[in-house]
Amino acid sequence: MGSQRSAVARIALSVVAVVLLGYLTALAASPGLRLHVPPTVQWFGEPGSAMTIAVVTVVLALLGLFIATAQGVRQPGAPVAIVVGLALLSLVLGLASYWRCHDETHPLLFTPLIWTASLLKGGVSDQSLAGQTCPAQTPVALEVARLSVLTAIFLSVVGVALALLQSRLDRLRVGFARSVTAVVDIDDDAASMLGAIARTLGRRDTLAVITDAPDRPCVQAARISGARIISVDFDQPEALAELPVWRKLDRLYLLSADPSSNLLRLAAITSHLAKIDQRQRIPLIMRIDDPWQAGAWRAQHFGGADTRWAADAVGKYEVTACRLLDRITANPAIQRILICGSSRLMLALCTDMAQRQVEWDYYADPAKSPPPKITLVAENAEEYRQDHEFACAQAGLVTSQGQIETVSESASAATVMSLISAGGAASTAVILVDADTGVDLSVGTRLAARFPTTPIYGWDPSAQVTEDRLALVGQLRTYRLSMDLPGGQAQDTWERAARLIHDRYAAAVGHDRAATLPWDKLDEFYRGSNRREVQNALWMVEKIGGHTWNTFGGHAHSQPTAKLYGLEPLEQLRLMGFERDTAVAMARAEHEDWSRYYRAAGWKYGTVRDDASKVHDKLVDWSAIEADPELLRTALTSLAATLSKLRELGYRSMPTSTAAEWQTFRRVGTVVAEQRWSPWTWNTRSGATLQAEAGDWAVREPDGDHCWSVRDDIFRSRYEQVEGDHWRRLGTVEARPAANGETVSTLEGPVTTSTGDWVIQGEHDDQWPVPAEAFARRYQGPISG
C-alpha cells in the first residue's frame, strides 16, 4: 500500500512539474503569452517573480526526493536520474530563453545552442547582443535553468566525494547504528544469502559486510542492496576484533568457504567480546560446507546455555539439498527420488530427507504428501548409505529402516532409465549430483528426452542461481551448488522446531483463537512466544537439568518417546532423565520466563483469559502455581510436552559428566557486610576485575580484607543479621569440583577457575567459583537430600 501511494504521488508531481515547466518554456519563447491567461494567475511566470521560482523549486525538490526513494537512496552518490534530469531541464529552458537572441552576426539556432552550452557548464552571467542584454528581461525559465544547473553540479561533486569517502562513511554509519548484523567474508556463493539475511532485519537494524576485498563484484552488489562495507585485513585478527561493530552485535554470520578461517575469526571475536560485553546466546551462523563437519559442529554447539553464541551451521551442500528437495516434494505425485552419483551432496540429501521424515512423523501436515523414498545410484552407493546411518547414530537419531535403497551400479543413462521405467516416470524424480562423481552431464538431457514427465535436476557449474529455472527438454532443470536459501529464509534450527511444534498444537486444538492460527498468519508476538519456549528449553536442560544437547559421538537418552504417552508428567520427566526437584525447578524457570515475556508485551492477570484485552488467567507468581496442585501439574505437563516434542523432532539430551558431581552443602559461618550505593569494582583472587552495581553488598570474611559483591535480593535471602555489620550465612547450595581453567559465568562477569576451586550454584541458579580453602570454611557437608 505504501509503495502504491508513493507511485501515485510521484506520477501526480511529475504531471504538475511538466505543466509548470511547459508553461515557463512557452512563456520564455513568447513572453506575450502571459497576457492571455486569467489575471489571477498572471503573476506566475512574471520576470523576477520569486514566488514562481519558489513554487517550481519545491515541486522539483519533492519530485527528486520521490525518484531517489524509488531508485534506492542506499546507492553511493546522487541518483544519476536526478542529475541527468536537471541537465535536460536546463537545456530545454535555456534554449527557450535564448531562442529570440540572434541577428546578422549571431545566427539563429547556433547562438541559443552555444549560450545554452555555456549555461550547462555553470555560466550564470547575462549574455549580450549588439551591446544589449538578451533577453532584455530575464525570464523565470532562465532563472530556473541556472538554479537547476548549479544543483546538478553540486550533486555531482557531492556524489564523487561520497564515493571516495564511502568506506569511512560506512564505518561511521555502523558506529551510530542501534544494532548490527555482521557478515564476515563473502564470496559469490555466500552472496546469495545476503538477500535472505536483509529481509530478516528490523527498520533500525544495520547490515555490515566485513571483507578484505571491497572491490569484488559480490561486495559491490551487497553495497547496492543496502549493506555497509567495512574493509579489514583478515591476516591481522586483532584488527578484526577491534572493529566498532561488536558492542552492537545482534547476529553474526561467518561465511568464508574455509571453515578453519571462520573458527579463527570466531575465536578472535569471542575473546574481544569477553572484555566489553557479557551478553550470551547471540545468534551465530557458521559456514561449513561439508555436511558431516557441519552436523558435528552443530551438535557440539546446540543448546549452549553457558556459551556466548546460539550457534548453527550453513553450507552450500546442505542448502542446495534443501532447495532441491523443496522443489521436488512440492509435487505430491513424486514417491521416489533417484540420487545418481556419489558426492557430499548425496550425503546432504540423505540427511535432509531423514530430518523431513522425522518431522513428518512428528506432524503430518494434511496439506502435504509424505516424504518420498530415496534410491542411491552409484558404484559405492552402499558405502554412502552406511555412512549416512553412521552419521545419524553419531547424532543420536534413530533412522527409519527401508527409507533408503541402494543400487550399486554406475549411474549410466541405461541404469537410470531402467529404474525410472520400473518405478513409474510420473512418480519418480532424478537428481544428478555434482562433478566429483564422474557422471556424464549429458545423461540428464538423454533422460529428459525419453521421460518428459519425470522431474530431472542436473548439476551444471554454469547454471545461474534462480528460484525456479525453466526446462528446455521435458522436465530437465539445471542447478549449481550455492547458498541461495529456499524461500528467502535464513537457516535457523530453533525457528524450524518452533514452527513445527506450533503447527501440530494448532492443528489439534483448532484455529479458532489468535494464538492458534497457522504460522503464516500468526501474530509476531505469538511467533516470538513459540521461539522463546524452544530456546528457553534448550537453556534449562543444560543449566538446570545438568544435561547436554551435544549427543554427537555419544548416546542420547534412549527412552522411546512413545512410551511417555499417558504417564504422569513427573514420571515422563524422570524417564527423560530429570528427577522431581530438577523438574520443578525447570518448570519454575519456564513459567517465570513466560511471564516476563507476556508482561513485557503489556499483558496482565485476570480470572478469565481474554487475548484481545491482553488478559491471562495463568499470569501469576510461581508461589501461586506451586501452592495449587492442579496448576503445578499443568506447569509440569507443559514442560514434559515441550521436551518430548523436541525429542520427537530429533533433539535429545543426555546427562553431562559433571551432572552427577553436584552435591548439597550447608552454608556456615559469619561475614562482615556493608551495602554500597554507587557502582564499584573488585578483583577475584585469580586477578579478574568484576563490576558491582549500586545497591550491591560488599562482603568479606571477619578476619580478611578481600571483599566480593552480592546482589541485594540474593544477599538478603542468604544471610541474616547477627549484630551491626555481622551477618550469618543461611541455607544450602549445590557445589561441584571445578575443572582447571573452566570459565564460570557469574552475575558480575566471567571468571576462570584454578586447580582445587569449587563451583557453587545458588537457589537463583547463579554460579560462582570459590577457592578450596575458602570453600572448606564456608560450607559444611555434603548432606543427603
* Lowest-pLDDT choice from 430-439, 550-559, 648-657, 726-735: 550-559
Domain match, 268 and 354 both = no
Rounded to whole angstroms, the Cα distance separating 661 from 736 reads 6
Summarize pLDDT for 576-621 with one digit per residue, the tens: 888 888 899 999 999 999 999 999 999 999 989 888 899 998 999 9
- Single residue among 635, 654, 673 that ends a domain in this structure: 654
Average pLDDT (742-749) is 71
Domain match, 585 and 701 both = no
The number of folded domains in the chain is: 5
- Single residue among 654, 680, 715 that ends a domain in this structure: 654
Spatial neighbors of 626 by CB under 8 A, at least 6 apart, are: 584, 588, 632
171 band by pLDDT with thresholds 50, 70 and 90: confident
What confidence score (pLDDT) does residue 373 get? Answer: 92
Domain match, 154 and 77 both = yes
Rounded to whole angstroms, the Cα distance separating 252 from 279 reads 14
Domain match, 89 and 179 both = no
Domain match, 616 and 745 both = no
Rounded to whole angstroms, the Cα distance separating 611 from 601 reads 12
Q: The domain that contains 481 carries what CATH number?
A: 3.40.50.720
Residue 720 belongs to domain spanning: 662-783
- Single residue among 455, 488, 521 that ends a domain in this structure: 488
What confidence score (pLDDT) does residue 491 get? Answer: 52
DSSP letters spanning 11-44: HHHHHHHHHHHHHHHHHHH-GGGGGGS-GGGTTT
Domain match, 21 and 143 both = yes
Average pLDDT (438-445) is 72
Ramachandran category for residue 414: left, alpha or beta (phi over 0 → left; psi -120 to 50 → alpha): alpha
Nearest residue to 262 via CA among 193, 189, 199, 314: 314
Rounded to whole angstroms, the Cα distance separating 166 from 664 reads 60
Summarize pLDDT for 310-331 with one digit per residue, the tens: 788 889 999 899 889 989 998 9
Strands (E), 574-695: 604-605, 615-616, 654-655, 663-667, 670-675, 680-683, 689-692
Rounded to whole angstroms, the Cα distance separating 539 from 534 reads 9
Ramachandran category for residue 102: left, alpha or beta (phi over 0 → left; psi -120 to 50 → alpha): beta
Q: At residue 76, does pLDDT exceed 50?
A: no
Domain match, 395 and 476 both = yes
Rounded to whole angstroms, the Cα distance separating 265 from 475 reads 44
Domain match, 500 and 647 both = yes
Q: Helices in 601-722 by DSSP H: which ranges?
A: 622-627, 629-648, 712-718
Domain match, 689 and 743 both = yes
Rounded to whole angstroms, the Cα distance separating 689 from 749 reads 9
Domain match, 383 and 449 both = yes
Domain match, 222 and 112 both = no
Average pLDDT (337-357) is 90
Domain match, 157 and 219 both = no
